[in-house]
Amino acid sequence: MPGPVTPPGPYIHTHRAAVAVASAALLLPLLGAAPSAAKAEAGGLQQAFTAAAAEYHVPQSVLLGVSYLQSRWDAHGGAPSVTGGYGPMHLTDVRTALASVPHHSERTEDARGDSARPAHHPDVRPPADEEIPARLRTLPRAAELTGLSAEKLRTDPAANVAGGAALLAAAQEYLGEPLSEDPADWYGAVARFSGADDSATAAVYANDVYEVMRTGERRVTDTGELVALAAQPGVEPRTAQLDRAGLRQPSAEGTECPAAVFCERIPAPYEAFGDGDHGNHDEADRPTSSPIRYIVVHDTEGGWEGVINLVQDPTYVSWHYSLRSTDGHIAQHVRVKDVAWHSGNWYVNTHSIGLEHEGFLAQPDSWYTEAMYKSSARLVAFLAARYGIPLDRQHILGHDTVPGPTAATVPGMHTDPGPYWDWQHYFELLGRPFTATGQAGSGVVTIRPDYATNQPVYQDCVKGQTCAVHGSSEVRLYADHDEKAALIKDAGLGTTPTPGVNDISSRVSTGQQYAVADTWGNWTAIWYLGKKAWFRNPPNRPVAVPATGVLITPRAGRESVPVYGRAYPEASAYPAGVPVQAVSPLPYTLPQGQRYVAGDRVPGEYFYASGYDIGTHRVVRGGDLYYEIQFGHRVAFVRAADVTIVPAG
């Protein structure tokens, strides 16, 4: 982003290098190698905030508030975030940049997921050698201002805090503001620290920091240290400073977002090309034409600039919103009324809203910022309220829980956002934390491990290597109550299950609910993929809590019933001119005697949109009804006529 020319000004600190404050250096990071962790210096992290605040004349509450929004005060062992940010202050460094193909370019999944037309496999690569935006290179600037090495800023939390303080002080001096002791005088500097290039996103970020300061926070960090920020309920920032921050004035015209965040419109094109083909989404009239039942959480597997370029390509695929990690900025690409091509399952696409989060599944230490989690939760809460979407894991789906629409598609379905997305924290931000809703012996459990201490071993984050030890939202399943027993096999994948980071065959995820099949000492078994699946669940450290729910089981007289990846109408429901879509079962059955937690009861429905001309689009509804169920790691559907509702317990 072009910024204002930095005027000559006072030095930051008399014994630091005298460096002019360039606006680009204050706007926030790509990925580097993960150096070994380093503990905070003697006195702990709290003392590091106190010392840095005193040295750089930044109010300690401002420094703590900014750091909380960046990292929740975690150090992440010196490993970089998804955008290359390091340490409690999320100082960014692009010197070893992320290089990855966005996940819809892998050609393993047809993101549109509609068998009525040829599979859509875009073969697009992100642009090479992009200009690195200023928000991705603040750590080198902090090194200049402090005289500390880049290595120390990456690996030493106390040094990292000092670097953040130096950047805040530099921003304050650039704005022509004094290094005041009053937190209210630092609004403009906080806004610039966000890395946003527009005033609206920067304002949302700064407002969040000041809200943290008003309410206070207290938390034990990932290094086991208690850090606290005392509440200052009366602090009222001088918001007019934002006018001098040198940021562009954006427009939210044409976006659908809550007032608490800012959305920018970057439209995905609806264009015809080639031999009557079109992309990269379908125009519709939702929720009038089709109800919106789901929100699907993705990660991009690519950096912001490249992904934004791709969604504007009519030959690529699409999603409704993108969220940036550094500052929580949101871009809307497809109107909610229209159908984006994102989940790989046409039925889910026609009933869902897709959100792409800047991130990488197989990089466990590539953590997401609190700013992005907050923005995403606000957007989801807004959309859920507008469209009547329940805030639970059968409606707020990960891409990894979307079922393959047919047996042939199951192996190619995607697995993002993966085990390192913190679902428990995300739902806390949504105001729907996962708690025990039933009594012991209720017959239903909600998966709820402690994210930080739940650390199953995964393989192949780098091919052939064990992934870095890290907190996880997922719990591993075994064929018996023994960690030496075989992992649960997914018949749809047709492969031997492994602890691979992308192998979801034997894993359950935080917030998902299952019927209890058995217990044995510290072990609990659930019904999963038509089998009894065991996980370790000791009372002193449970990974699941009692719950309540609606359960289904095969009707009397049925040995088993088929399971489907989509809820399509029966053949007789299709009018002339609309090709009948097969109601084809997945390679699973639901046996008599097993129970599964049910979500919505929905009619069979198919949105026919095989051509560019929206006048040919039709919605077909049948008389058959389906239940959505939590069948394995992914959800699935069963015909209501095949099952019956049974009490839990």
Query: What pTM does this model have?
Result: 0.87
Contacts of residues 275-280 at CB distance under 8 Å and 24 or more positions apart, as own/partner, are: 276/611, 276/612, 277/612, 278/314, 278/611, 278/612, 279/120, 279/313, 279/314, 279/315, 279/316, 279/317, 279/318, 279/341, 280/311, 280/313, 280/314, 280/315, 280/316, 280/317, 280/318, 280/341
pLDDT digits (tens, 9 = 90+) for 568-620: 999 999 999 999 999 999 999 999 999 999 999 999 999 999 888 888 899 99
Return the domain boundaries, the chain.
Answer: 23-98+131-244, 263-419, 553-646
Burial of residue 230 (CB within 10 Å: 0-12, 13-18, 19+) is exposed
What mean pLDDT is reported for the chain?
A: 88
Gap between the terminal Cα atoms of the chain: 59
Average pLDDT over residues 430-446: 96
Locate 248 and state its tokens.
């562009």
CATH number of 263-419: 3.40.80.10
pLDDT tier at 276, thresholds 50, 70, 90? low
Pairing type for strands 531-536 and 560-564 reads: unpaired
CATH class of the 23-98+131-244 domain in this structure? mainly alpha
Q: Which of 100-104, 170-174, 350-354 has the lowest mean pLDDT?
A: 100-104
* Of 81-90, 211-220, 418-427, minimum mean pLDDT range: 81-90
Buried b or exposed e, range 475-510, using 16+ CB within 10 angstroms = bbbbbebeeeeebbbbbbbeeebebbbbbbbbbbbb
> For residue 146, is pLDDT > 80?
yes
Q: Residue 35 pLDDT > 50, yes or no?
A: no
| Residue 49 tokens, joined | 């905030």
Contact 643, 561 (CB under 8 A): yes
Inform me whether the pLDDT recorded for 129 exceeds 80: no
User: Is 46 a residue whose pLDDT tops 50?
Assistant: yes
Question: Which residues are CB-neighbours of 236 under 8 A, at least 6 positions away?
Answer: 184
Amino acid identity of residue 490, one-letter, is D
pLDDT at 473 over 70: yes
Tens-place pLDDT, residues 176-230: 999 999 999 999 999 999 999 999 999 999 999 999 999 999 999 988 999 999 9
Whether 504 has a pLDDT exceeding 90, the answer reads yes
What confidence tens digit (pLDDT) does each residue in 54-71 have? 999 999 999 999 999 999
Q: pLDDT band at 541, cuts 50/70/90?
A: very high
